[in-house]
């Protein structure tokens, strides 16, 4: 069944820079061949509501001025609202062995978030429903799906009854690489570790980091003191992790929160991908796992500071990759696990 002109224009209104034919067909729930028949009378040779351009061997469809004007007079289908980051609940607190009267408490929300690349379902994670475009950029980069932000042509967040779907449109070459990776994984016996299919896929092949400027302990102390003030969701709920980026003088430039520590790091990395990252260091309010170190190296982060301890595998990877790694970083105290010569008073 062909989509109606109204549905086509309503969906295209969500993509001011245009959208590829496969992604538009996916959003409308039809085959590409069916969609082409529906688009023909709407194009420049017909109603003139949309234009078709070829970019990197891809068809990209976008609304014309006439199409935007026409679409503005049509009703867009109602979508479920995006969930809130926290929920208020009634609780009974126990103090000194006594149950107190009912009172309110705030809980951090976590929802299933599915990531799709050019209509291909790739992963579903539980995450805080905030800063999801940053999350999509950071996850795509640290997992090696894209080589840089220019590989992402568009990001769309859709709310469904089951959760959230983040739809990314990526360059054709990156889609081909993703499909090849998925084909390589098909048929292997999964080890169940870290969401990968085999043990050799746990540690990716990454280039070691170049030697970097030293870290001042005085600057780190100031950064740690200022980090907590930016954790608004943690202050309200006590249930979220944070990842922050500080410049070399200890000024907070970016902070993201999430119920998952990996998600928080991906969100922070994704946010700093939007512009050239200022020289500095990363701080996470959690332990430093192997995956946290690997994501940091993949993102070109030279210094990772954790509030809690790293794992032994994380410390070995940090040493091999040239990453300065600190743990138990609180106040004016810290433990240096790699490259102590790069730490100054």
Predicted pLDDT at 276: 86
Which of 154 and 193 is assigned the larger pLDDT? 154
70: confidence class by pLDDT, cuts 50, 70, 90: low
Please determine, for residue 71, whether its predicted confidence score (pLDDT) is greater than 70: no
Average pLDDT estimate for 74-95: 75
pLDDT digits (tens, 9 = 90+) for 101-115: 999 999 999 999 999
Confidence of residue 299 (pLDDT cuts 50, 70, 90): very high
At 73 the pLDDT is 43
Would the pLDDT of 189 be above 50? Answer: no
Question: Which is more confidently placed, 158 or 326?
Answer: 326
pLDDT confidence of residue 134: 96
The more confident residue out of 116 and 76 is 116
In this model, does residue 279 exceed pLDDT 70?
Answer: yes
Give the confidence band of 193 by pLDDT, cuts at 50, 70, 90: very low
Query: For 315-324, which contacts have Cβ atoms below 8 Å and span 24 or more sequence positions?
Result: 317/203, 317/290, 317/293, 318/288, 318/293, 320/208, 321/206, 321/208, 321/209, 321/293, 321/297, 322/208, 322/209, 322/210, 322/211, 322/212, 323/209, 323/293, 323/296, 323/297, 324/212, 324/215, 324/281
What is the per-residue pLDDT for 61? Answer: 82
Measure the CA–CA gap between 178 and 172, rounded to whole angstroms: 10
* Higher local confidence (pLDDT), 146 or 185: 146
Lowest-pLDDT range of 5-19, 69-83, 321-335: 69-83
- According to the model, what pLDDT value does residue 184 have? 55
Domains of the chain: 5-72 (1.10.10.10), 112-183 (3.10.20.10), 215-344 (3.40.140.10)
* φ/ψ (deg, to 5) at 119: 85, 0
Angle subtended at Cα 296 by Cα 295 and Cα 298, rounded to the nearest 5 degrees? 65
Q: 15 pLDDT exceeds 80? A: no
Angle between helices 21-28 and 5-12 (to 10 degrees): 120
For the CA atoms of 125, 130, 131, 137, the dihedral, rounded to the nearest 10 degrees, stands at 10
| pLDDT of amino acid 203 | 77
Q: Is the pLDDT of residue 77 over 60?
A: no
* 52 vs 100, higher pLDDT: 100
How confident is the model at residue 97, as a pLDDT? 94
Q: What is the reported pLDDT for 311?
A: 97
pLDDT band for 119, please (50, 70, 90 cuts): confident
Q: pLDDT value at position 191?
A: 39
Polymer length in residues for the chain: 345
- Rounded to whole angstroms, the Cα distance separating 208 from 320 reads 7
Given this model, what pLDDT does residue 239 score?
Answer: 94
Residue 46 above 70 pLDDT?
Answer: no
Higher-pLDDT residue of 166 and 60 is 166
Percent of the chain scored above 70 by pLDDT?
Answer: 88
76 pLDDT tier (thresholds 50, 70, 90)? very low
DSSP labels for 201-259?
A: GTS---PPPPP-PPEEHHHHHHHHHHHGGG-HHHHHHS--EEEEEEETT--EEEEEEES
Q: Judge whether residue 301 has pLDDT over 70.
A: yes
Mean pLDDT for all residues in the chain: 86
Catalytic residue positions?
191
Please compute the mean of the pLDDT values over residues 267-273 and round it to a whole number: 96
Evaluate if residue 196 carries a pLDDT over 80: no
The answer on pLDDT for 6 being more than 80 is no
């Amino acid at each position: 069944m062909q989509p109606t002109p109204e549905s086509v224009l309503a969906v295209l209104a969500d993509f001011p820079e245009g959208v590829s034919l496969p992604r538009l067909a996916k959003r409308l729930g039809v085959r590409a061949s069916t969609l082409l028949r529906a688009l023909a009378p709407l194009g420049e040779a017909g109603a003139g509501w949309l234009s078709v351009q070829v970019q990197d061997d891809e068809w990209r469809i976008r609304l014309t001025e006439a199409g935007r004007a026409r679409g503005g007079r049509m009703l867009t289908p109602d979508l479920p609202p995006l969930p809130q980051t926290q929920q208020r609940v009634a609780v009974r607190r126990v103090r000194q062995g006594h149950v107190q009267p009912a009172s309110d408490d705030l809980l951090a929300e976590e929802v299933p978030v599915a990531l799709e690349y050019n209509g291909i379902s790739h992963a579903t994670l539980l995450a805080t429903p905030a800063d999801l475009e940053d999350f999509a950029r950071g996850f795509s980069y640290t997992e090696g799906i894209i080589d840089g932000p220019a590989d992402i042509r568009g990001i769309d967040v859709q709310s469904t009854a089951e959760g959230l779907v983040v739809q990314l449109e990526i360059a054709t070459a990156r889609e081909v690489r993703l499909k090849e990776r998925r084909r390589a994984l098909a048929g292997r016996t999964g080890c169940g570790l870290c969401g990968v299919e085999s043990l050799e896929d746990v540690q990716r092949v990454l280039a070691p980091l170049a030697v970097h400027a030293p870290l001042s302990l005085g600057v780190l102390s100031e950064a740690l003191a200022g980090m907590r003030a930016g954790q608004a969701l943690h202050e309200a709920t006590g249930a979220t992790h944070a990842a922050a980026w500080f410049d070399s003088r200890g000024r907070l430039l970016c902070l993201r929160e999430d119920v998952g520590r990996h998600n928080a790091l991906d969100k922070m990395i994704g946010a700093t991908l939007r512009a050239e990252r200022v020289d500095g260091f990363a701080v996470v309010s959690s332990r430093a796992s192997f995956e946290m170190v690997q994501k940091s190296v993949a993102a070109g982060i030279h210094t990772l500071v954790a509030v809690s301890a790293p794992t032994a595998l994380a410390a070995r990877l940090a040493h091999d990759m040239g990453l300065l790694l600190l743990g138990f970083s609180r106040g004016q105290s810290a433990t240096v696990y790699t490259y102590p010569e790069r730490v100054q008073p």
